[in-house]
A and B are shown apart, each in its own frame.
Chain A
Amino acid sequence: MTAIALRPLLVSGSLLVLAAFVPVIADGYWLSIAVTVLMYAALSTSWALFSGPTHYIALSTGAFFGVGGYLVGLGMSDYDQSFWAMAALAPFVATALAALIGWATLRLSGVYFVIFTLGLAEMIRNLISWVQNNFLGSRGLYVLTDLDERHIYWMLLAITAAVFCFGWWLGRSRLGFALRILGNDEEVARHVGINTARTKIVMFMTTGFVAALVGAVVAPRYYYIEPNVVFSPELSFIVVIMALLGGTRRLYGPLLGVIPFTLLWEVISVSFPNATTMVLGLTFLLIVYGIPNGITGLLSGLAAWRRA
């Protein structure tokens, strides 16, 4: 391995070690922000791995996240399963769901996919509420574990690290190569013999897997779960905003969007709770009109300009 390849590895390795010590120094408030940052880091990065190269805007993060959280709640409350068993099961259910959705929508043009994922969380929430109201008796589910915020933090850190490793591997693998060709021109990709539908579906399944896993791990934070809590449509949009704000062309791009946006969101939802949707809207507009390639695109543009 050359020195050039070694450097980012060393940097990210030491960042990971540093991040692991955050719960030791951070107190309740800042630790909870750090947990939120990591949650979004894992979600946004895995979202960008699929949507970045393919330009298919998936708005299903909230749906898979909800499936993860809800399954943990259901398993623990109604079937006496352990948190660990449910957290292990949930991502596979979400992956199967993603395969089904991907199969129905990803073979067609991008718009179908966006529309279908747009209301997915809402539909699943409706279905679950309906089943619960009619067959299970309407009530919420309790997630009582002896995990505290530090444990959730460490688990999320491990997931985020795994997502980054996956992304790193993807950048060097045949699948990643196929994905980049597909992103540049789907027609060309088909002609050189790439199974475009399968590539897209596989990548979409991985985002579903990660989102459900994160949802499952974060579930103990809520203590009490009902469909309206975990299936928040807002989450899908926030994840998209963060990834696009940071930029999807580099693996660490979404992270650069996650940190400032989480802090901004925190300030706004505390001080001006009525203005959150407007901020979301303005950020979307800012990205489209001002920084189409995100912060990383801005930085690399700046670097190129200084060199010139």
Chain B
Amino acid sequence: MDILISGLLLGGTYALIAMGLTLQYGVARIMNLANGEVLVMGALASFLVYTSLAVSPLVTVLVIAPLAFALSWLVYRVLLLPLVRRAKNQGQLEVDSILATFGMGFFLVGVMVFIYPELFAYSYLAVPVDLAGTTVAANRLVAFAGAVVIGLALYVWLNRSRAGMAVRAVAVSPLAAGLVGINVERISALAFAIGGMITAMGGVLISTFITLDPSFGVIFTMKALIIVIMGGVGDIRGAIVAALILGIVETAVATLIDPGLTLAAAYTIFLLVLLFRPEGLFGRRPA
């Protein structure tokens, strides 16, 4: 029971990161390997604001969100759109976007090292809460609640609004979406920006209970990628379910066997998915 609850709480925060990435890769077709760095940026901003101005991360997140949205949108417009236009096929875009976002990721790490080169952590809502017999820290609960709210909002927006429908259409087929009058470039930019926004918000929430360092981004990127592939590319439901599974498995391995083996556990799941269900849990097999 302990494992299940802590695992679910961890999985909830993973879901945030993975939702951002699945929008960026599934809709905008950009394999964003700087995703983890965006998360750490959000966390760092939250840390700096909290330690210097004593502003609650729950307030910071409201400022970070539009900021991250705007910056991600700019990055897509200025840096990534030329690559999309230049690419002759999907493979070319994949290679270019991987290299470009690696570059951006390293650049962001460089910037963060310049700003704050050490580990950072702060204490926010670190009070124990009793939850069905398990003691958990309140900050983890808050982060999980935040993940649920953001996930629900995203789900409703995708399924109930016109723009959400356009986003889903582009995810299925950019070509067909263009034929029915959807501005694919604009929708892609929108999806990329929302993805960046969700990731940065995830960073703010995570910073309340995890110690981070400017170079930790790549670990989050990897986990997000594993989740996205596991859930089926471009599928929000899949991302959430896969994130919860990963959270539970990691917690189980860490508590039952050894904390040093969590990465190996994540890799094992990834390998099993690749071998038995490469299209992901919710993905469709390509016809």
Residues of A whose CB lies within 8 Å of any CB of B are: 55, 57, 104-105, 108, 110-112, 114-116, 118-119, 122-123, 126-127, 129-130, 133-134, 233, 237, 244, 274-275, 277-285, 287-289, 292
Contact = CB atoms under 8 A, between A and B. Distances in A.
Contacts of A130: 258, 260-261, 264
Contact of B94 (A110, A283, A284, A289): A110
A284 B96 CA distance: 10
Interface stretch (B98-106, B133-141, B146-154): B98-106
B99 A244 contact: yes
Interface of B: 31, 33, 82-83, 91-92, 94-96, 98-100, 102-111, 113-114, 117, 215, 218-219, 221-222, 225-226, 229, 258, 260-261, 263-264, 267, 270-271, 274-275, 278
Contacts of B270: 115-116
Contact of A112 (B83, B260, B274): B274
Nearest to B258: A130
Contact of A57 (B92, B99, B108): B99
A278 B111 contact: yes
Contacts of A126: 260-261, 263-264
26 contacts: A57-B99, A104-B271, A105-B274, A110-B94, A111-B98, A112-B229, A115-B225, A118-B218, A119-B219, A122-B219, A123-B264, A126-B260, A126-B264, A127-B264, A130-B258, A130-B261, A130-B264, A233-B218, A274-B114, A278-B107, A278-B113, A281-B109, A282-B103, A284-B106, A285-B104, A289-B82
A287 B106 CA distance: 14
Contacts of A134: 258
Given A110-B91, A123-B263, A281 B83 contact: no
B92, B100, B263, B275 interface centre (most CB from chain A within 10 Å): B263
B267 A119 contact: yes
B263 A108 contact: no
Contact of B103 (A122, A233, A283): A283
Given A284-B102, A288-B100, A118 B215 contact: no
A278 B114 CA distance: 10
Nearest to A280: B106
Contact of A111 (B31, B218, B258): B31
Contacts of B260: 126, 129-130, 133
Contact of B110 (A116, A127, A275): A275
A124 to B, nearest CB: 9
A110 B95 CA distance: 9
